[in-house]
Amino acid sequence: MLLEKDENKIPRFSFRPFKIIENIQIASNTFLLVVESANSLDHFSAKPFNFFNIWVPRVDEIPLSIAYQNGKRLFFLYKLRGLGTKTLAQQKVGSFIGIKGPLGRGFEPKRSEKWLIVAGGIGIAPIPMLIKRALELDAKLDIFWGVRVSTEFFDIAKIFGLPNEAWSIVRVSEDCMADFCGLVIDAIRSVNVDKYDGIIAIGPQEMLKTFCKQYGESRENTYVSLETIVKCGMGICGSCYIRESEKLLCVDGPVFRCSEVAKQLEGASA
Amino acid sequence: MALNRLALMTSLAGIELRHPLMNASGFLGYTREHVHRLASYGLSAIVTKTITPYAKEGYEPPIIVALRNGGLLNAVGLENPGKKCIAELVEEARKINVPLIISVGGRNEEEFVEVAIEAEENSATAIELNLSCPHTKGYGLEIGSDPNNVFSVVKAVASVTRIPVIAKLGLSDRVVESAGKALEAGAKGLTLINTVKAMAIDVHTLKPILTNIFGGLSGPPIHPIAVRVVYEVFKEYRSEIIGCGGVSSWIDAAEFIAAGAKAVQVGTALALANNPQDLVSNILQGLQHWLELHGYKVVEEAVGSAHRV
C-alpha cells in the first residue's frame, strides 16, 4: 500500500551531516555505503522505497533508495554510473557527506500479505528494507532478482543480517550462472501471479515497460518503482514530472501503479 | 465555512482574478503537467517558470536546499524548454480555465521581446518580466538592478505587446526608482520582490552547498523585506502590485495587501506544504475573516490600508 506523505517536511529538505562508516565495493561495479548521522538528536525513520539525496560536495546530489536503516545508520547500495557516483565511491571512511531526506512516499505490504517482487540489477537496492518491514508485518515476499552477469550478485541476507524466514529469492542472470538463465521478466512467466496480493517491479525502464504490459493492464495491484532524473527532490524544480499526470516522482513516488505511469513508460525504448 | 467569493475577487493589471492568490514563478510551470498540478491547488492564476527564447539547461544539483531558518535557497539556473513550450502551457491553462501569466527572461531587450511576442501570439493572459533573478549570469538582476535598463526592457516589450506587462523586480538599493521606471515604460503592474541573493555553507564539509555557490533566498526570512518594498513603492506610485516573498499564512498575505498589494504570490510555502490545496484555502479563509473584521466588502478596499492616516 502507498503510505502517507510525511508531515514534517522542512528539516528533511536540508542537508544533514552524516559520517561515512563504510563505503566498499561488494559486487561488480556495485558499492555499499553506510553512514551515520553526525547529530545525536537526529531522529527519523525511513520507510521502504523512500530515497535520500546524497550530496557529494561540489560535485553532485545523487538520489539513492534506502537499502536499510538501523537506528542512526543508513545503508545505501549504488552502482557506478557517472562522475557523481564515482566521486561518492572515493569518499573515505570518517569523512562527511550531506543527506536530504527521507524523500518520496514509502511503500509496503499490508499485514500478512504475500507479494511478488521483481528486481532488475541495482533495483534490488530497496529490497533489504522491504524484507525488514515484511518481517514486522508478518508478510511474505517472493523475490526474483535478475542481472546481466552473475558477478553483479551479492548476498543481501549476509550483508544486512536478514533472517531466512518471510522471504525467498530466485537469482536470474543472462550469463546463465544462476538459478534461472535469461531475463527476470521471462523467469516470472511460469509463476502464478494470482496467488499474490500484489506485485511490484523495480529496475530499468525497459523492464518496467514490459512488466506493466504483461501484468499491469489486468491487475490493479501491480506497481513499479520508477527511477527517473530527480533533481531537487522537493517537488519544486519539476524535472521528475510524470507524463500526462499531475504527479511528480519525487513527492508522489517512486512507486506508482502501472496504470498511472503508462504514458511515462511509453517513452522507454523497449 | 464556505468562502465569500465576491469579497475575495480582485484584479491586477486588468486581469480579473477570483481571489488574490497565485503561485510565484519558479515553482514548476514549464510543462502541461505542471500547469495541471498548479491549477489543482486552487490558485486564481498560474505564473509559469521563466521562459527564455531557447531551451536552457540549469545548474547541476544541488539546486535547491531548505535552510534551518525556514527559508529555501535555490540556484536552478533558469532551466526551461524555451519559448516553444508556451503554446502547450496556454492550451492547458485554457482547458482548465485559469489565467496564465508567462514569466519572461532574457539577456537583452531582443530576447525579452522574442518571448513576449510568443506569449502574445498564443494569447497568454499576461507577461511577467523577470528582471530580478539573482543567480544566473547575464540574466535577471544583472539587468534589473539598473533603473535605466528596467526602463528599456519594459519599454521594448510594452511597445510590441497588447497583453498586460508586469515587471518583477528584486531587491536592490534603487528598487523604488526601478519601479517608477517600469511604470513609466508601460508596465501595468509590478511583482515585488524576487528572491534575495544569498549563500549557505555546510560547516561539516566546509563547502558551499549550492553548485552555483550563490542562490536566491525565499520564504519567511525575506517576507519583511518584501513588505517594506511593497509599502515604499505603493506610497510613491499607488501602482498595481503583486506582493511576493515569504507568504505562508493569511497574515503574511494580509500584510502585503495592507502595504499596497492587490494580489499575492506564494512560492516556498506552497512547495513545502504537505497539502497545497489546504494551504491555499486556509489563506483565503483567513483573508476573508480579516476583511470582515475590518468591515471591508472587497479586497480592493483593504489595499494600502496601512498607509491611511
- For residue A200, tell me if it sits in a domain: yes
A164 and A236 fall within a common domain: yes
Residue A43: predicted pLDDT? 73
Residue A229: predicted pLDDT? 78
For residues A159 and A26, the answer to whether their CB atoms sit within 8 Å is yes
- For residue A257, tell me if it sits in a domain: yes
A196 and A261 fall within a common domain: yes
Q: Would you call B133 a catalytic residue per the annotation?
A: yes
- For residue A244, tell me if it sits in a domain: yes
Among the residue ranges A31-40, A122-131, B153-162, the one predicted with the least confidence is A31-40
Pairing of strands A198-202, A222-225: parallel
A126 and A98 fall within a common domain: no
Nearest alpha-carbon partner for B17 in B304, B307, B299: B299
For residues B193 and B243, the answer to whether their CB atoms sit within 8 Å is no
**Which amino acid makes up residue A113?**
E
A251 and A126 fall within a common domain: yes
Residue A268: predicted pLDDT? 62
Of A75, A103, A131, the residue at which a domain comes to its end is A103
Q: Which residues contact A108 (CB under 8 A, 6 or more apart)?
A: A1, A3, A47, A48, A49, A130, A133, A134, A137, A139
Nearest Cα of chain B lies from the Cα of A133 at a distance, in angstroms, of 25
Residue A270: predicted pLDDT? 42
**pLDDT digits 0-9 by tens, B225-275:** 999 999 999 999 999 999 999 999 999 999 999 999 999 999 999 999 989
Distance CA A223, CA A1 (A): 10
% of chain B at pLDDT higher than 90: 91
A156 and A259 fall within a common domain: yes
For residues A103 and A12, the answer to whether their CB atoms sit within 8 Å is yes
- For residue A5, tell me if it sits in a domain: no
Distance CA A154, CA A43 (A): 30
CB atoms within 10 A of CB A106: 23
Number of structural domains, chain A? Answer: 2
Distance CA A169, CA A143 (A): 5
The residue whose grid cell reads 543567480 is B135
Nearest Cα of chain B lies from the Cα of A200 at a distance, in angstroms, of 25
Q: Is B202 on the interface with A (CB under 8 A)?
A: yes
Number of structural domains, chain B? Answer: 1
Omega of the bond leading into B147 within 30 degrees of 0 (cis) = no
- Mean pLDDT, all residues of chain B: 95
Q: Residue range A159-165: average pLDDT?
A: 93
Could you tell me which residues are beta bridge partners of residue A248?
Answer: A241
**What is the sign of the dihedral through the CA atoms of A138, A144, A148 and A149?**
positive
Q: Is B74 on the interface with A (CB under 8 A)?
A: yes
Q: What is the CATH number of the domain that holds A247?
A: 3.40.50.80
**Using a CB-CB distance cutoff of 8 angstroms, which residues of chain A are in contact with residue B58?**
231, 237
Residue A8: predicted pLDDT? 46
Q: What angle do CA B266, B271, B276 make, to 5 degrees?
A: 80
A144 and A198 fall within a common domain: yes
Q: Which residues contact A265 (CB under 8 A, 6 or more apart)?
A: A205, A208, A209, A212, A224, A258
- For residue A156, tell me if it sits in a domain: yes
A138 and A51 fall within a common domain: no
Q: Is B254 on the interface with A (CB under 8 A)?
A: no
- Between A10, A234, A246, which is nearest B36 by CB? A246
Q: Compute the count of residue pairs across chains A and B with CB atoms less than 8 Å apart.
A: 101
Residue A45: predicted pLDDT? 84
DSSP states of B56-92 as a string? E--PPSP-EEE-TTS-EEE-----EEEGGGHHHHHHH
Q: What is the CATH number of the domain that holds B225?
A: 3.20.20.70
A176 and A125 fall within a common domain: yes
Predicted complex ipTM: 0.91
Q: Residue range A121-131: average pLDDT?
A: 97
Q: Which residues contact A257 (CB under 8 A, 6 or more apart)?
A: A216, A220, A222, A223
Q: Which residues contact A151 (CB under 8 A, 6 or more apart)?
A: A27, A28
A99 and A131 fall within a common domain: no
- Residue of A20, A64, A234, A256 to mutate for B, most B C-beta atoms under 10 A: A234
Assign B253 to helix, strand or coil. Answer: helix
Q: Which residues contact A137 (CB under 8 A, 6 or more apart)?
A: A108, A109, A110, A111, A112, A113
**pLDDT digits 0-9 by tens, A210-262:** 999 999 888 889 999 998 778 999 999 999 999 999 999 999 999 999 999 98
Q: Which of A 204-243 lie inside 8 A of B, CB atoms?
A: 231-232, 234-239, 241-243
Distance CA A266, CA A212 (A): 10
Among the residue ranges A193-202, A226-235, B157-166, the one predicted with the least confidence is A226-235
For residues B222 and B195, the answer to whether their CB atoms sit within 8 Å is yes
Of A73, A103, A133, the residue at which a domain comes to its end is A103
Nearest alpha-carbon partner for B178 in B216, B214, B154, B151: B151
Of A103, A124, A152, the residue at which a domain comes to its end is A103
Helix, strand and coil in chain B, % to nearest 5 = 40, 20, 40
Whether residue B173 is predicted with pLDDT greater than 90 in this model: the reply is yes
Q: Is B34 on the interface with A (CB under 8 A)?
A: yes
A263 membership: H or E segment, kind and range: helix A262-266
A94 and A212 fall within a common domain: no
A157 and A65 fall within a common domain: no
- Residue of A232, A243, A252 to mutate for B, most B C-beta atoms under 10 A: A232
Whether residue A3 is predicted with pLDDT greater than 70 in this model: the reply is no
Residue A44: predicted pLDDT? 76
Q: Which residues contact B214 (CB under 8 A, 6 or more apart)?
A: B75, B134, B135, B197, B198, B199
Q: What is the CATH number of the domain that holds A70?
A: 2.40.30.10
Residue A188, all three cell numbers: 516470472
- For residue A6, tell me if it sits in a domain: no
Whether residue A10 is predicted with pLDDT greater than 50 in this model: the reply is no
Whether residue B193 is predicted with pLDDT greater than 70 in this model: the reply is yes
A82 and A198 fall within a common domain: no
Q: Name the residue range of residue A222's domain.
A: 114-266
Q: Is B205 on the interface with A (CB under 8 A)?
A: yes
Distance CA A51, CA A250 (A): 9
Could you tell me which residues are beta bridge partners of residue B56?
Answer: B80
- Mean pLDDT, all residues of chain A: 92
Catalytic residue of the set B8, B35, B133, B254: B133
- For residue A55, tell me if it sits in a domain: yes
Q: Residue range A54-82: average pLDDT?
A: 95
% of chain B at pLDDT higher than 70: 99
Q: Residue range A112-127: average pLDDT?
A: 97
Pairing of strands B21-23, B263-266: parallel
Q: Residue range A88-115: average pLDDT?
A: 95
**pLDDT digits 0-9 by tens, B29-88:** 999 999 999 999 999 999 999 999 999 999 999 999 999 899 999 999 999 999 999 999
Nearest alpha-carbon partner for A63 in A217, A192, A229, A177: A229
The residue whose grid cell reads 543481501 is A156
Distance CA B221, CA A78 (A): 37
- For residue A169, tell me if it sits in a domain: yes
Q: Name the residue range of residue B223's domain.
A: 5-307
- Structure confidence at residue A9 as a pLDDT band (50, 70, 90): very low
Query: Which parts of A125-227 fold into alpha helices (H)?
Result: 127-137, 156-160, 184-187, 205-211
